[in-house]
Structure 1
């Protein structure tokens, strides 16, 4: 096996390999939309941080990442890199060994660039790749999941009123947004994510053309669901796809079908508008989110992360 720097000359082979791995996951997750190609790899070739694996003249794998960014995961002081879905792949034969060799080669460059938080998005059913990264000190943190735009089977709870908010009424969801941010503090989540000011929350909703739905109990908002065109994987570029960006239900209203009804209300409306897929990403270390989304959505990626000893930066020139 020969490991070399990933460059533009490797893009054509890499795109074919990435697509074959996507189709491999699609066979396990029928709700995944079809795709003719995935991520544009030009940026990843040009940043000089990737690796390509070859056996003779045949590409057997590639591993690319973003340039280092500050405050990895938005809640640490670490500089991080991330290898998104579609920016890495490996053939089935000897997949673990290929990923192991590519990571050893690429991670040296990542550390030299100052990144001590390493993240990678792997397909949820690729146990071979996941086990290899677990052996190298990674742990699961995030999950991407999808479902077709079809309603959930549940009983309609008539005690709640549901509506879609407008730019004029979006401020009604802001208290629930604050409660969601506070929920992030709880164990075992431990994420200190700052909430936007109400003015910014409302202006972003309008500027990004988001959709927001709320449930009311006795006139008071008790749950909300925010949906956007944008998400964190490349399938969000499909026009028929929408992505859940925020969701929260007051604890005293959980277990009553409130959120299932809210989700169905949104799905019924969005399906009539021509949307076919609904996705969500959530942290596996958030037990409330994990328990709900895994019931109704099909996971297709697992986000793994490794935080290495930042003191290695003091001797990175020796690596």
Structure 2
């Protein structure tokens, strides 16, 4: 096996591997859409941070990442991220192929100053997951999907579920603050300062998304936020909507409120012709991890490794 730099002439074989890997996951998760095209890989050939594994003229795999960026996950570290379309590997000896590719690619990423390495893997690709777990990665995120069919929640007396108008968006502010506080607690530790929260709130209230809320009288007790796209190229497929925010007041959890709201939202989106609903969530959020897998099926695992920063100083 020969590990070399990923270059433009490798894009054709890499795209074939990407298609093959996606179809493997689609065979496991039937509600995934049929993919017509893989995003263009040219930027990964141009940034010099990718590698490819070859046996003779046959590509065994490729592993690339976006250009590293600062303050990943609101830390002081620079991060390198390889999305699901930026890598792929043949089925035979896949664990070994990924290990060999990451060993070479990681050296490039560290030289670029990236101490945080992230990769999106298909959830049912046990060989790839095993490779990166053995090299120090841990699970942080999941993408999941479901068909746009009701979950079968019972009707809720005294609860009104509806889509919010633009002028009603401020009604969700207390819930957004509750969500931010929840994510700052153990074991999530995704802490936001008041300044950061207010800045995020402005962005959240002005972005092009839709809000659905469950109400008791004038009080919003739960909400879902839905966007046209999520965290990977699959979320951009026609007929797919993506949950990008959700919260239910603690005193109303376990009473069917969030399930009733989910069914209401699904009914509205289905009536508009949408076929699938996606969501991404942190797996170390126990509330989210306990809820979403009941109604959605995971199709990606988002893995993260933090390299010891002393490696950045050695000039590897």
Tell me, yes or no, whether TM beats 0.5: yes
Q: Give 2:37's aligned residue.
A: 37
Q: Give 2:135's aligned residue.
A: 136
Q: Give 1:310's aligned residue.
A: 309
Looking at structure 2, the residues matched to 132 and 235 of structure 1 have their Cα atoms a distance apart, in angstroms, of 24
Q: Deviations over 1:216-242 (max 9, x none)?
A: 123311001000002111012212111
Q: Is the counterpart of residue 50 in structure 1 residue 54 in structure 2?
A: no
Query: SS of the counterpart of 2:166?
Result: coil
Equivalent pairs, count: 312
Match 1:195 to one of 182, 197, 205: 197
Looking at structure 1, the residues matched to 45 and 240 of structure 2 have their Cα atoms a distance apart, in angstroms, of 28
Q: Deviations over 1:83-117 (max 9, x none)?
A: 00111010110101100110011111000000000
Q: Give 2:267's aligned residue.
A: 268
Tell me the TM-score normalized by structure 1.
0.96
Q: Tell me if structure 2 keeps the 8 A contact 1:116–1:309.
A: yes
Q: Tell me if structure 1 keeps the 8 A contact 2:32–2:145.
A: yes
Q: Which moved more, 1:191-200 or 1:289-298?
A: 191-200
Looking at structure 2, the residues matched to 31 and 54 of structure 1 have their Cα atoms a distance apart, in angstroms, of 33
Looking at structure 1, the residues matched to 72 and 202 of structure 2 have their Cα atoms a distance apart, in angstroms, of 26
Query: SS of the counterpart of 1:222?
Result: strand
Q: Give 1:254's aligned residue.
A: 253
Looking at structure 1, the residues matched to 240 and 125 of structure 2 have their Cα atoms a distance apart, in angstroms, of 24
Stretches of structure 2 lacking an aligned partner (at least 5 in a row): none
Looking at structure 2, the residues matched to 232 and 83 of structure 1 have their Cα atoms a distance apart, in angstroms, of 12
Query: SS of the counterpart of 1:195?
Result: helix
Looking at structure 1, the residues matched to 109 and 144 of structure 2 have their Cα atoms a distance apart, in angstroms, of 28
Looking at structure 2, the residues matched to 36 and 59 of structure 1 have their Cα atoms a distance apart, in angstroms, of 22
Q: Deviations over 1:142-162 (max 9, x none)?
A: 000001111102211122111
Looking at structure 2, the residues matched to 236 and 167 of structure 1 have their Cα atoms a distance apart, in angstroms, of 24
Tell me the TM-score normalized by structure 2.
0.96
Query: SS of the counterpart of 1:20?
Result: helix
Looking at structure 1, the residues matched to 239 and 85 of structure 2 have their Cα atoms a distance apart, in angstroms, of 20
Q: Tell me if structure 1 keeps the 8 A contact 2:185–2:191.
A: no
Stretches of structure 1 lacking an aligned partner (at least 5 in a row): none
Q: Give 1:66's aligned residue.
A: 66
Deviation at 1:47, TM superposition (A): 0.6
Query: SS of the counterpart of 2:120?
Result: strand
Q: Tell me if structure 2 keeps the 8 A contact 1:157–1:256.
A: no
